[in-house]
Each structure stands twice: as structure tokens, then as C-alpha cells.
Chains A and B, each alone.
Chain A
Amino acid sequence: MALSLVLLFVTGLNGKLGWVAAFFFSYVSVSFIAEYRRAGKPAAQDSLLTSISRFAIFLAIIPIASILATVISKGWRGLHWGLFTQDMSEATVNSPIQQGGMLAAIVGTLIMVGLALLFTLPIAILTALYLTEIKGKFARPIRFLVQAMSGVPSIVAGLFILSSIVYPVTGERSGLMGALALSILMIPTVARTAEEVLLLIPNDLREAGLALGATQWRTVAMVVVPAVKSGLVTAIILGVARVIGETAPILLVSGGGDATNVNPVSGPMGSIPFYVWNAFLLGGTEESTQRTWAGLLVLLLWVLILFTIARYISSRSQKR
């Protein structure tokens, strides 16, 4: 600490960034020298790598922690009960914060993500089973395709649904269309994660099932899938987390919307990211800024809850 202050003074580095850099160099070199004197060269090299990776963790945590801190500190004042019981049909983003709420957005997000999950689950899990259990002729190209698809920008998924279904077929934006666009983004994530956990299952187990006179299908259903249940739950949660914050495709194909709409096949449907985007874009007043932060906080809370559930489920089944 003291050394870094000295270094700061000597080298002319300034500001917070300078302090971080100076702290890094002084921390690494002090621990290196101390370890060298205590235990020799190999131990010192060891400590060098240890301190560098500690520093990397520190750097990685900074943005995450500051995002959380900012959102919570700015968002919590915007939280009120009406946020969960009212929608924006009778309020504008610039209305006082007590008027209007996120009901439409929350309901829309739940419906669209729920529907997307419904479409994604069978397709993604069966794809993963094809890649790991059936290992068919097309396994290699399909694996490549799934990997490539996980890099598809979300706006492309939105435009695809817009041009292939919304304009030529339904002629109307709706929550269902939003769910379809989200499915496109979700399938590769879930399929890849599911494939990875399925690959961890030793072949012994599959052989044991087959050697007991089971068909391959029953072996997969009764032995392989139960053995990776927690991994599959994690895959699903990761998929949900991937799409819950998507704004672009929702904007394009489900149309946003301020009124609470529970009918997914007709009429525009809002979502939490859309609410945030809307408040940010159309506002400019203190109230709208307040709404933006509150919306972000609610979204973050959802993601946090989902990850906590996933961790809980996977740790519980690992214990057994």
C-alpha cells in the first residue's frame, strides 16, 4: 500500500487508474521478492502467478460489483408496490413515479419467456441427445451449426421472425412472435450446455443399461437423463438468463405496448427490457430516469433469482 503510494508519487501516474496500476506492480513485486527470499525461485514464480491471477479476479469483479451497486442505489427509490400491480396504459414515463407500473412488462416477460422455454426445451434437449446418444451421421455439421447459432446477434433473430412470419403470415406483432424470436436465441445455448453435461456421463452407465436388456431409448430416459438432471436444469436456467434481458427482438416482433396483455397471439406485448428502453428513450425527466433504474433493478433481481435457483438445484443433487 505504502509502496504503491510512493510509486504513484515517483512515476507521475495519476488518478484512480494510476493508483490501480501502481498497486498492481507494487503488490506483485513485493510478494515476489518476499517469497524469493523466503523459499527460493520456484516458490517465487508460483507466487507471481498467484498474485497476477488474484489481480485478474479483482479486475473482473470491479465492473460486476459497480453495476450492482449503481443499479441498487439508484433503483431502490423507484420501487413501490404499484410497480407490480399497475401498468403504463394510464400513465406516461414522465408521470410521477407513483403512477403506473411494470405489470404489463412483467406479465409480458413471463409469458414470452415461458412460451420460448416451451418451444426450446424439447428441441434443444433432443438436439443434445442426438449429438451425444444417437451420434448420427449429421452430428458433426449439427454441432457446428449449434455453435455458430449461439453467436447470432439477437436483432437478427428478431428480423428473421419479422420478415418470415410477422409480415407474410400473421400481419400483426404479438407475444407469440416474441417468444419465437427468443427461442431462436435460446435453443443453441440450452443445446450446447445440455450436450456438455451429457458428455460428462461415462459410457459405462449407458453400457450397463444396454447390458440389462434395455433399449437405447429406455436407457437414455431412465439412466442417462436422471444422472444429469441437475445439469439439464442449469442448461435451462442459462437459456432463460440468456434471453430474459433481450430488447431488440421484442421491440421488432412483439411491439412493446403499455397495457397489460395476457393474450400471446394478438396485440402487442411489453417486456421488462422494453420498459427500461422506453422509459429511457421517451423520458428525459427525473421521473423517467427513476423508472429506468427501477426497471433495471427488477430485471436484475429476476436474473439473480433464476441463478440462485439453478445453483441451489445443482448443489442439492450433487450432495446426494
Chain B
Amino acid sequence: MTNNDDLAQNANLEPNPGEKKEMKTQTTPHSLADVASSREVKQPGTMPLGSGLEARGVHAWFGSKHALKDVTLDFAAGTVTALIGPSGCGKSTFLRTLNRMHEFIPTAALAGEVLLGGKDIYASGTDVTKIRLRIGMVFQKPNPFPSMTIGQNVLSGIKLAQLKVSNTDDLLEECLTRAGLWEEAKDRLNEHASSLSGGQQQRLCIARSLAVRPEVLLMDEPCSALDPGSTFRIEQTISELSQTMTIVIVTHNMQQAARVSDYSAFMLSDGGPGELIEVAPTTELFSRPRDKRTEDYVTGRFG
């Protein structure tokens, strides 16, 4: 719905070609802010489910390259936070530090703390597999397991992490329903995942992440490889999921950030390591950015 409103607004923005350039830089933030304010902003703490996540002074390196500098950011339970910023500003790197996928890359190093429910996930003696069970992740490219059927893909997390589930059929239906794929997939659970379209595959990946019942879901540009229709479906899914869990989404699409997120965080790298420039409720970040660089970015002057 918000999608359509937004498109309509953009279409009305250009009264005559002569003023086009001028108008665009001035009105875009307002339109984004309008989109954002049409959402009901959730207050932290009002949601019963999900755990909050707090990043404390996170630095990241790849070899000797300092990729991320001193990021401190809170993700309140039950909120959707969008990480925005130009390419190479460390958004994805930051996202991957939040469930310890960062260390999967050889030569990667890290400093700082990430608190999940108040406990540091990097504390020594922490079982990294347990952390990743609680903090799920959806990747940029849909990556269903090719050797498994649709149904097996959804339940793969249960098998991979050796969890016990009493009724897998119910879990299957629940996860696919929450990911918005049940109606399309219920009659083809035994088909291979590759028979689905790209957008359906991405929703399958979301359903797969949900099956292990994470408290936090990290999404790394989940719609960047998808067409507008699939993007719309996934945004709907995100809104529904945010009722019960904390979501952090990296996106290059500011319209998307405005549509789905409660809070937005702007990150930037000036050639050196990426830094957090500003974080605010999404409406505020798009309408009254405090930092000049945020304003330049959200108004489309660069990036």
C-alpha cells in the first residue's frame, strides 16, 4: 500500500520540466519523510517479543584495512532499523558483526562488544552457533539449498542445528505463512527450491531463517536482486515480522528504508573506515537530518 502511495507522490512531484532539478533536491526528503511518517512509529519497549541488540564501540578490520570505526548503536526490541549509506561505507560489514558472520571471512578482525539481551555475543566461552540461532540472517542473493526441496529448505535449520521439533508440519506452515509464501508453495513443498522464482526463493530463505525462531533478523539488501512486485511482498513480510522480532535491514533504497523502518542509521566512509554519522527515528532522519552529510545523502546530492 505504502508502495503505491509513494509512487503516486513521486509522479505528482514534477509540475514543469524547467523546475525539475530544483524541485527534486528540495522535495525528495519531504516525500520520504511523508512515507516514513505514514507508518506508526513504534516505541521501544512496547513490543513483547524479540530481544534488543546493542553494538558498543564496534571496529572491524579486513587484514590491515580498517573497515568500520567505533560504531555504537542500539536496536530496541521489536523495532525495524534501516542501515543506509553509500556503497563501501561498512553497512554490510557492520551487519555481519551482529551475528558473528564477520569472522567467517579469513583475515577479518574485530573489536568492541555486541550485546544481545545484555550479554556480549563475543564474550569468551560463547557458543557461536547458539548466537546465530538467536540472530538469523537473510542474504542479498536468494540462496536456498539446491539439494533440498522447498519443505526441506524451510526445516533445514532445525536439522542443521540439531533442534527437536514436535510437529514439523505445523512449523512448516507457520514459517511459510509468516514469510508470505504459504499460499504459493503449499502444493509444491516436495518440489526443488530452484523451481521457485527469485522473489519466492528470497521469501523461502526468510521462512528458513524463521524456522529456528530467532529473536533478531538481519537482512542484507534482501530485495536488491528482486523486481518491484517481489520487493513489495517482502516489505509486507518485514512489517508483519516486526510485530514479533527485532529487524535490522541494510538497504540502498531509501524509499524502502522509509517504508519499512522505525529507525534509520546513516553510515559513511570518507575513504577511511566506515562510521556511523547519524541515527534517528526514520521520519526525523528524512525530514530533519541533524548532520549535513546525512542531508546531502538523503536528498540525493551524492551516493
Contacts and interface: CB of A to CB of B under 8 A. Distances in A.
Interface of A: 135, 202, 204-215, 218-219, 222-223, 226-227, 229, 320
Interface stretch (B63-71, B116-124, B205-213, B267-275): B205-213
Nearest to A215: B129
Contacts of A202: 143
Q: How big is chain B's contact interface, by range?
A: 20 to 34
B139 A208 contact: yes
Contact of B160 (A135, A212, A229, A320): A212
A222 B162 CA distance: 12
A222 B101 contact: no
B145 A208 contact: yes
B156 interface: yes
Contacts of A209: 145, 156, 160
Contacts of B148: 226
Nearest to A135: B106
A214 B160 CA distance: 5
Given A135-B106, A218-B160, A212 B212 contact: yes
Given A135-B106, A211-B132, A214-B129, A227 B147 contact: yes
B133 interface: yes
Q: Which of B136, B157, B192, B194 is the most central at the interface, judged by chain A CB atoms within 10 Å of its CB?
A: B157
Interface in B105-161: 106, 129-133, 136-137, 139, 141, 143, 145-148, 156-157, 159-161
Given A204-B143, A218-B162, A212 B130 contact: no
A227 B144 CA distance: 11
A165 B148 CA distance: 46
A3 to B, nearest CB: 51
A211 B137 contact: yes
Contacts of A211: 99, 101, 132, 136-137, 139, 209
A316 to B, nearest CB: 13
A223 B136 contact: no
The binding surface of chain A is classed by DSSP as helix
B145 A223 contact: yes
Contacts, number: 76
Contacts of A135: 106
Given A207-B101, A218-B160, A227-B145, A212 B192 contact: no
B302 interface: no
B42 to A, nearest CB: 26
Nearest to A212: B157
Contacts of A229: 147
B156 A222 contact: yes
B241 to A, nearest CB: 16
A212 B139 contact: no
Given A218-B160, A223-B145, A213 B139 contact: no
A210 B139 contact: no
A302 B150 CA distance: 39
Contacts of A226: 145, 147-148
A205 B104 CA distance: 13
A213 B212 contact: yes
Contact of B143 (A208, A213, A218, A320): A208
Contacts of A204: 139, 141, 143
A212 B136 contact: yes
Given A204-B141, A219-B160, A222-B160, A210 B132 contact: yes
Nearest to A208: B143
A219 B162 CA distance: 12
Q: Which of A211, A219, A227 is the most central at the interface, judged by chain B CB atoms within 10 Å of its CB?
A: A211
A215 B162 CA distance: 10
B192 A320 contact: yes
Contacts of B160: 209, 212-214, 218-219, 222-223
A222 to B, nearest CB: 6
B142 to A, nearest CB: 9
A244 to B, nearest CB: 30
Interface string B52-82: 0000000000000000000000000000000
A257 B176 CA distance: 64
Nearest to A223: B145
Nearest to A221: B160
Contacts of B129: 213-215
Nearest to A209: B160
A210 B161 contact: no
B107 to A, nearest CB: 11
Interface string B161-194: 1100000000000000000000000000000101
A135 B132 CA distance: 22
A207 B104 contact: yes
